[in-house]
Amino acid sequence: MTMTMSTITNILAITTTLLFFFADSYQPKSYYHSLYTSPSLTNNESVSHHLYILTRRPHLAGTTANAKAASHVLSTLSTNNIRSHLAEYAVSLTYPDSRSLKLTRPPPEPPTTFDLKQVLYKDDPYADVADQVEPTFHAYAKSGTAHGPVAYVNYGRVEDYATLQETGIDVTGSIVLARYGKIFRGDIVQNAYEAGAIGVLIYSDRKDYGGGGGGAKWFPDGRWLPPSGVQVGSVFKGVGDPTTPGWPSSMEGCERLSEDEVEKAGNVPLIPSLPISGADGEQILRSIGGVVAQDDWQGDNDAPVYRIGPGPGVIELSYKAKQVIRTIQNVIGIIEGREEPDRFIILGNHRDAWTFGAVDPNSGTASLLEVVERFGKLQRKGWKPRRTIIFCNWDAEEYGLIGSTEWVEENQEMLSSKVVAYLNVDVAVAGAGFHAFATPQLDQLIIEVIKLVQDPDNTSQTVYDSWVKAIKNPEIGRLGGGGSDYVAFVQHIGVPATDMYFGSAYPVYHSMYDDFVWMNKFGDPLFRRHLAAASIWGLLALKLADEEILPFNYSSYAYELQKSAEDLETKLSGSSKISLISLFKSIEKLNKAVRRINDEIKEIKEKKSWEFMWKNKNDAWKMREVNDRLMMAERAFTDHDGLPGRPWYKHLIYAPSKHNNYGSKGFPGIDDAIENANKHNTKDSWRSVQHQIWRVSRVITQASLVLYGELT
């Protein structure tokens, strides 16, 4: 048989294609996953360098410095052969225009005008750019002047005002002094307004942030916040651009609420506020007389006796804000999946910082870039993900999760149908000790991954080993709070998500002392914790992107809902007005659906082999169908109408506490309704509780139907 040149050419082309295909797919995905954490791919010098570059100067949202930081992220993505672009939005931001604070005490004490400045430390390497740090302020604080006696209100919680009321102390017409901690600063201001206060000062108490006295050293000699340190931050209680609630702030121009409409929406404060230092707070405390505060309201052993007042000290507080429309930039990078390009695994971290932001957020950004570089190396070795991986570096998170919210609102329909999971890291490293939060179906995956990563502080064990040894009954937390960029994904569109970090609360939070020096001396001197964070983050993404059957397990979800329902039953014990039958029945349906899909997954795994999947396309479609059910079940926990009074929050299982945006509530709509019913004790208020129970029961039933996979 004689072959023509054309035939030979065709055979060679086909052979070359097949050789390329088999060579490229010769190594199993697990090979690349094990390679991902090998010393040959990790680089603590690189992650340290990224953090240094990102924190060279303050980079508040909407500034040129933050745009330059975005360029560094974009360049790193491009250098690693990851297709990337900027997603820009024009959003409403505020900056301080003027502010003043004066304390007047009874004669003969002279009045004190505070300079409201954070002091440079000796040999500060950032002294040359310190003037680029914005004066201390609260973003979206009310412009205005307040003059009145000062009253001390502890942490400014609802229960603190209840204590004042029981003591017979009224703060109406006063300026309240609250200490940071326990709850979100925006809730501190809101609670003060509802108690009748006309202004708010929030300070960092030495007991919480300064080492508690007793010879503790503050930065740069120790890890603690210096006496002049100030925690700045936003007091906006909403999510996203306040002027575009529920729709994106597009660059081409869009509908916007007026300033009056924003105020009427109820998420911005109606009285002025200022953050102040521990030193200034202590000086004001010395001017307050009246009843001595109870023991748990007192400071450390070296502090003066805390009294409640109001007065005799009088405060004159003035604040004026600049409100502007500024461009913010999300950096988006995409590695397209080979087999399922229409399924997305998203890794997200924000970039903007109140000052230098070495811990918050750029320990997370540096870790994200470490993941990017390792994925770039894997691609050069032949790896290609099964599903699409998307890197998102958000902007303006500090103002109110703005960058991520605007992007989710703009891409909502596509994201709702295509996102498998969102993996968030805000602060990656604040110290030692691992912490994780997730929607429950990802619990098992997180545990599996941290068993594969070496503990950065003890190389003889894994992160999992140190986690279970350090914490009694360690648990993965839930994503009900409003603290970071997972909010739009979980609470608005119902996407499974995680959040994790090393360390816990750190004392220089949101101050100008959160710089590279603090991180290098106290947070992570060898940058091994950054590498461990990148290892966990990347492995979570690899398993979600590459495993043929999604590594979700809804057994944890069913267990947690059952526990929450039992807690609710205890809370309502003795009430004949409320029935929980529908709730428990819906959870039982979910349990049955979970058992069924787990059995289906087990069956697929037992009979699947490479040859079988090659010859049986129907089974491949079955696997896709099971994955779709696993992915979409979380969406079923959302409701179009959202929570009562908070319609943007669609998730009926997890949402922030009404009185603490940092706090998490299970069954938030039910919880809010019970609070209202206990307050008013009317037939309608208790009927509302029952209605919210029915709503939760319905979404749980919907989730069970999605997992079950068959029409009724």
* Angle subtended by helix axes 528-546 and 44-54, to nearest 10: 100
* Residue 393, phi then psi, degrees to nearest 5: -110, 105
Which of 88, 282, 373, 397 is the catalytic position? Answer: 397
Q: What is the DSSP letter of 183?
A: B
DSSP sequence for 435-489: EEEE-GGGHHHHHHHHTSSB-TT-TTSBHHHHHHHHSSS---B-S-SSSSTHHII
Q: What angle do CA 495, 61, 540 make, to 5 degrees?
A: 30
Q: What is the DSSP letter of 306?
A: P
Q: Where are the extended beta strands (E) located within 105-131?
A: 112-113
Q: What angle do CA 73, 46, 403 make, to 5 degrees?
A: 25
Question: Are the C-beta atoms of 452 and 543 separated by less than 8 Å?
Answer: no
**316 among known catalytic residues:** no
* Three-state SS letters, 581-594: HHHHHHHHHHHHHH
Q: What is the DSSP letter of 210?
A: S
Question: Are the C-beta atoms of 350 and 403 separated by less than 8 Å?
Answer: yes
Residue 252: which of 327, 352, 329, 324 has the closest Cα?
327
Using left for φ > 0, alpha for ψ between -120 and 50, and beta otherwise, residue 336 falls in: beta
* Residue 665, phi then psi, degrees to nearest 5: -125, 135
List of residues 6+ apart from 206 with CB closer than 8 A = 212, 213, 227, 278, 282, 299, 300, 302, 303
- Residues designated catalytic: 397
